Amino acid sequence: MDIKGFFRKALAKTQAVIREAFGETIPEAVLTELEDRLILSDAGPRTASRIIQEIRARKPQSPEDVRAHLKTSLLELLPKDGSPRFCPAPPTVWFLLGTNGSGKTTTAAKLAAHYRRENLRTALVAADTFRAAAIDQLRLWSERAGAELFAMQEGSHPSAVIFDAMSDKKIKSCDLILVDTAGRLHTKTSLLEELAKMAKSCEKSAPGTLVERLLVLDGTAGQNTLAQARIFHEALSLTGLIVTKLDASSKAGFLLSIGSDLKDVPVKWVAMGESLDDIAPFDPAAFVEGLVGETPA
């Protein structure tokens, strides 16, 4: 599937919400309806109002003008540079962080498979030692994705897992090492502290390799994820976001307000399903086409 097709499919539910506005015939009526529809898709009232004001200032003459100006405004709002970071020499380490059930483990596997297809040697590190099932789940994914696996037993200290993984010859010789972390420990505060310790452990055993701290956000939670993102960013200096489950969400509009909320943390990837190839790099133009839909001929 090409990138446009991917975003069209991922955003089908949200597009159905936005599209309704274009049933109106008078531009002003389209704008009024569109503002409501943007809010319904979880863009947030402030972002929705800003978009509508921008379009109105461009004096649209028809619903199709509104659609065209909407695309321009959205493109300006969306984060631009979402290219993933790699170290000049391997290995590169990425941490996948996030709350319980947001899609970290599945996404780690998808990324491993994605780069495996590009002929990189990839490894998955099971730093979620909270429950045994998490390690088994990652082992299964590593086999499907053709990635190496590093795991210790349930209950091991996550920082120790990272330290040992980064000292392991087979893992160290990989190009990309994806670290799957826990979404819950006993309290939220201790989770963030633990994750910060893990980053330190990685820095100690393999200085300079940890270049991405990616927060995995559940796309079905819409605006609710933004508060989460701020907390994680404060504690861990995130480098990027990954939005999952877009296929199951009609609230993808929340991505429009991420830029104003978290200016220096771009969306880098989006995921839309449970199989290995259901992931794509974030593409602002394809996102806008997917959200607003094509101009009818």
Ligand X SMILES: Nc1nc2c(ncn2[C@@H]2O[C@H](COP(=O)(O)OP(=O)(O)OP(=O)(O)O)[C@@H](O)[C@H]2O)c(=O)[nH]1
Residues forming contacts to ligand X in the complex (CB under 6 A) are: 98, 100-106, 128, 134, 183, 244-245, 247-248, 271-274, 278
Total residues binding Mg ion (CB under 5 A): 2
66, interface contact from ligand X, Mg ion, none, CB < 5-8 Å by kind: none
The strand order across the sheet containing 148-150 reads: 148-150, 122-126, 176-180, 92-97, 210-218, 240-244, 267-271, 279-281
- In this chain, which stretch among 98-106, 141-149, 209-217, 248-256 interacts with Mg ion, using CB under 5 A? 98-106
Could you say whether residue 250 binds Mg ion (CB under 5 A)?
no
- Of 105-134, binders to Mg ion (CB under 5 A) are 105
Rounded Cα–Cα distance for residues 215 and 221 (Å)? 14
Closest CA to 142 of 175, 105, 172: 105
- In this chain, which stretch among 24-32, 96-104, 250-258, 265-273 interacts with Mg ion, using CB under 5 A? 96-104
Residue nearest to ligand X (CB): 183
Torsion sign over Cα 246, 249, 250, 254: negative
42, interface contact from ligand X, Mg ion, none, CB < 5-8 Å by kind: none
Rounded Cα–Cα distance for residues 288 and 73 (Å)? 10
CB of 98 to ligand X, least distance (A): 6
CB of 151 to ligand X, least distance (A): 14
Could you say whether residue 142 binds Mg ion (CB under 5 A)?
no
Asked if 232 and 215 touch (Cβ cutoff 8 Å), the reply is yes
Asked if 77 and 47 touch (Cβ cutoff 8 Å), the reply is yes
The contact set with Mg ion (CB under 5 A) reads 104-105
